[in-house]
Amino acid sequence: MEASSFTPRLPAPAVRPLAAIRRVTGRWGLLVALAALPVYYGIRDLTHGYAAGAIHGHALIHHDLSRLGVNVVEGLSNGAIWALIAIGYTLVYGIIELINFAHGDVFMIGSFTAAGFWGTLGLGLATGPLGLVVGLIATLIVSMLVCGSLNVLIERVAYRPLRGAPKLAPLITAVGFSFILQNVGLLWLGGSPQGVNDLVHQSQTVFTISGVPIQRGYLLALLVMIPLVLGLAWFITNTRPGRAMRATAQDPEAARLMGIDVNRTISLTFLLGGMLAGAAGLVYALYETNIWYFQGFEAGLIAFTAAVMGGIGNVRGAVLGGLIIGVIQSLSDSRMGPQWTEAVVFGYLIVIMILRPRGLLGEETREAG
Amino acid sequence: MSELAAQLREWREAIGARLPPWWSRGLAATAIFIGIVLPFFFSQNSGFMNATIIAVAFAVMSLGLNVVVGFAGLLDLGYVAFYALGAYALGWFGSSFFFQAHVHVGVSGVAATEIGVHLNFVLILIAAAAICAIAGMLIGLPTLRLRGDYIAIVTLAFGEIIDRVAVNGQSVHVGGGMTLTAGNLGISAVDSPSFPGIGQFNLLDLRPWYWLILAILFVVLFVNLRLRDSRLGRAWVALREDEVAAVSMGIPSVRTKLSAYAIGAMFGGMSGAFLGTYYTEVNAGQFQFGFSIFILAMVIIGGLGSIWGAVVGGLLLGYINNYLIPDVLNDLPSKLGLNFSTTTIEYGIFGFLLVLVMVLRPQGLIPERRRRMEMTAEIAAEDAQLVESTVP
């Protein structure tokens, strides 16, 4: 009894101020950094107020948090699109450790396919609600299938022949395919942004929560994103192919020895990533109501950043990263001006990388072991 | 396929066995000689010379990035930042952009009478190298704890931030009504280099420009070759191959990595300053993410970590982008009776070539010696040993 309850008295750890500071920043720094922007602007709105329209020529100054609420809600719905794309990056990175630069452009093709397909179906502003829902679901399926197969095709042509080659070689073929797809988009719809029909009337307010109008576009983005992400999570954790994916991500050699068809599993990963990108493409077209060939490049950059921010290889991390980036973007758009948004997002990325070198939720890759 | 490859390797070895031991040095000397006399075969302002000058400038950047990515193994996706900083060093110190200042050092002619800061081009090169070295170390700092592709994204972020600052620099005031950059309007009317005995460079005669950038290339090449075999160069390779082992052997990780960033950035800045004066303006539109990828493609296509590969990759992609696609291929469709110009599918062609080269030759055009050994001889030897040791 006596012996088992005896614990050796360890020498008290020496208090080193630098280490203490580091520990505190390690634990709280990230939270502070992420909360800094919304808290600052929230306090500013409450104390200084903001102009919300004008009555009889006098600026109407509000002192509440609803502007911040609008920013956050808008950011979350925007972030839902980034999250869908980011999952594609993170899945592919997790399994073959490749930054799939062509992924953003697959998403762009998804938008183009969706807009083209609903045009073919004859969906227009005059279509009734039932036709619209059925038509859009059909469009969603088509654009997911097109993007999924496109992604599989790219993997087959550009990445599979390079398995076993130096690690950066597939990166260059990915860039090559990104350029090719951009060119396809350029030839398809021309070099300037094209407006598409605002089928769902995305800016129409559905209801208002304490001064924050919830628009149809917001609901659409979240309604598409949440079931798809839950479905994907279920697929990865609960099915045999999903298990094969996780096994391959951990150790492709061992997975192969266990009888997993590694090539097919990798193809499946690209299929899933591409399908989510296709869904994101449709949502983007409906939400932004204009599409152009360069959207994929920009979105890809943001989504990849989101994937890294959340911890690469980690699906939940990618979703979280996407949502956070969406909120940062909309705050910066509305408060600092859209021309600085990119710099703010990337500044945040660097801060997060310094404070938490493995991303918010930790990475899930081979090297992380 | 593999038989063909084996046959090719056999031939190559047979040729290699017959060539005298000095042949690679001889080849290099011939290439350098051809490089120096090249302008005499073309008119003073031919399109080919223009493409060559830009291609050589790209090769300098490619050499710089090769130090970071090839030698030290730190994937840098934001190299365009150093192009931008080098070009802005030229814009700041070699034009009338800072109109409140009156600084003239080592300049003559028109530049000596204008307002603004006007330094001699050599001083600007040094300034560009210094600014970029500091910036390179600054971006290196947050990546020290990171590994692999996290470094890539942080450098990418840095490149994008520099790009944004360049584009929006008009709204950043530095005092006296002067702004940081001229954004998309560009800092125009920058000084062209002038040297005693040669006079002011102008765009009607491209030869002096060519020799200038060739001289820069030779200096950078020499520094690269010496660095590769130096203590520092071997430390980079050791860190690249196995960081834990390298650090436990006493290699100072922080200093070694930061010096790779600084040296790589310096070369990018020098090339950027040259391109700034050669394009006669410094426009924020030049510094987009795609350019970082373009330079990275040069390094990888040439063969990661291979100095001659970086030069060849830089020249190759430079020529493809500035000569083959706009000048040679442009009227091909019309000759074939097709009604479109090649410039509309320029990106597609470029992308297709990238895919093609990498699929056919994943190790790059001229692989680094160490990597080549890894990929062929050593593995074969290991396999043979393995067979020997397992067969009783």
- Do B354 and A340 make contact, defined as CB atoms within 8 angstroms? no
Cβ distance of B354 and A173 shorter than 8 Å:
yes
Q: What percent of chain A is predicted at pLDDT more than 90?
A: 40
Per-residue DSSP letter, A313 = T
Lowest average pLDDT, out of A54-63, B70-79, B94-103, B332-341, goes to: B332-341
Q: What was the pLDDT predicted at B118?
A: 87
Residue A69 within a domain = yes
Q: What is the pLDDT of residue B327?
A: 73
Average pLDDT over residues B259-283: 93
> B38 lies in a domain?
no
Angle, in degrees to the nearest 10, between helices A341-355 and A315-335 = 140
Supply the pLDDT for residue B213.
Answer: 93
**Residues 6 or more apart in contact with residue B48 via CB below 8 angstroms:** B42, B323, B327
Q: What is the mean pLDDT of residues A345-354?
A: 86
Q: How far apart are the first and last CA of chain B?
A: 33
Q: How far is A353 from chain B (nearest CA, A)?
A: 8
pLDDT in tens, B235-255: 999 998 888 899 999 999 999
How is residue A230 written in tokens?
């839950």
Beta carbons within 10 angstroms of residue A216's beta carbon: 17
How many distinct structural domains can be found in chain A?
1
Q: What is the DSSP letter of A14?
A: P
The model's pLDDT over A106-138, given as tens digits with 9 standing for 90+, comes to: 999 999 999 999 988 888 888 788 888 899 999
Contact B55/B318 with Cβ under 8 angstroms? Answer: yes
Q: Is the residue at B241 inside a domain?
A: yes
Contact A343 B165 (CB under 8 A): yes
Q: Is the pLDDT of residue B378 over 60?
A: no
pLDDT in tens, A24-33: 777 777 788 8
Let me know if residue A367 belongs to a domain.
Answer: no
In this model, does residue A365 exceed pLDDT 60?
yes
Which residues of B are less than 8 Å from A187 in CB distance? Answer: 344-345
d(CA B378, CA B392): 23
A244: in domain = yes
Contacts of residue B266, Cβ cutoff 8 Å, sequence gap at least 6: B64, B129, B130, B132, B133, B136
CB atoms within 10 A of CB A168: 23
Domain-located, residue A103: yes
CATH of the domain at A282: 1.10.3470
Show residues of chain B in contact with A173, CB under 8 Å: 354-355, 358-359
Q: Does B380 touch chain A (CB under 8 A)?
A: no
Measured at the alpha carbon of residue B215, what is the angle toward residues B213 and B217, in degrees to the nearest 5? 70
Over range B159-172, report the average pLDDT. 88
Is A14 in CB contact (< 8 Å) with chain B? no
Give the lowest-confidence range in A291-305, B17-31, B149-163, B275-289. Answer: B17-31
pLDDT at residue B66 tops 70: yes
Helix (H) or strand (E) holding A55: strand A50-55
- Pairwise CB contact (< 8 Å): B354 & A179: yes
pLDDT for A77: 92
Distance in Å, alpha carbon of A102 to nearest chain B alpha carbon: 11
Q: Does B71 have pLDDT greater than 60?
A: yes
- Contact: A183, B165; criterion CB under 8 Å: no
In a domain, A106, yes or no: yes
Q: Is A90 on the interface with B (CB under 8 A)?
A: no
* pLDDT exceeds cutoff 70 at B322: yes
Please indicate, yes or no, if residue A10 is contained in any of the structural domains: no
Question: For A342, which of B145, B160, B293 is closest by C-beta distance?
Answer: B160
Closest Cβ–Cβ partner in B143, B145, B153 for A308: B153
Render pLDDT for A136-165 as a digit per residue (tens, 0 to 9): 999 999 999 999 999 999 999 989 988 878
Host domain of residue A69? 41-51+60-355
Q: Does A360 reside within a domain?
A: no
| pLDDT value of position B337 | 65
B174 part of a folded domain: yes
Which residue in A100, A108, A168, A352 has the most chain B C-beta atoms within 10 A of its own C-beta, making it the best mutation to test that interface?
Answer: A168
Range of the domain at B209: 52-288
In-domain check, residue B332: no
pLDDT of residue A369: 41
Report DSSP letters for B156-209, one per residue. Answer: HHHHHHHHHHHHHGGG-EEETTEES--GGG-EESPPPPEETTTEE--TT--HHH
On whether any CB of chain B is under 8 Å from the CB of A153, the answer is no
Alpha helices in A155-199 (DSSP H): 169-189
Q: Do B371 and A182 touch (CB under 8 A)?
A: no
Taking only residues 274 to 313 of chain B, the set having a beta carbon closer than 8 angstroms to any beta carbon of chain A reads 289, 293, 296-297, 300-301, 304
Would you call B370 an interface residue with chain A, using a CB distance cutoff of 8 Å?
A: no
In a domain, A324, yes or no: yes
Per-window interface: B 24-83 vs A, CB < 8 A: 69, 75
User: Does B186 score more than 90 pLDDT?
Assistant: no
Minimal C-alpha gap between A262 and chain B (Å): 20
Q: Using one digit for the tens of pLDDT, what is the confidence trace for A73-89?
A: 999 999 999 999 999 99
| Residue of A166, A172, A350 with shortest CB distance to B354 | A172
- Number of separate domains in chain B: 1
Verify whether the Cβ–Cβ distance B348 to A180 is below 8 Å: yes
ipTM of this predicted complex? 0.78
Instruction: Find, in chain B, the residue whose alpha carbon is nearest to that of A354.
Output: B142
For the ranges A150-154, B107-111, B321-325, the maximum mean pLDDT occurs at A150-154
A198 contact B CB<8A: no
To which H or E segment does residue A82 belong? helix A66-96
Confidence of residue B28 (pLDDT cuts 50, 70, 90): confident
pTM tops 0.90 = no
> Tens digit of pLDDT for each residue in B191-204?
888 887 777 888 88
User: Residue A56 pLDDT > 80, yes or no?
Assistant: no
Residue A1 has pLDDT above 50, yes or no: no
Nearest to B149 among A99, A172, A183 (CB): A99
Greatest CA separation for chain B:
86
CA distance A78 to A74: 6
pLDDT for position A204 = 82
Q: Which amino acid is at B345?
A: I
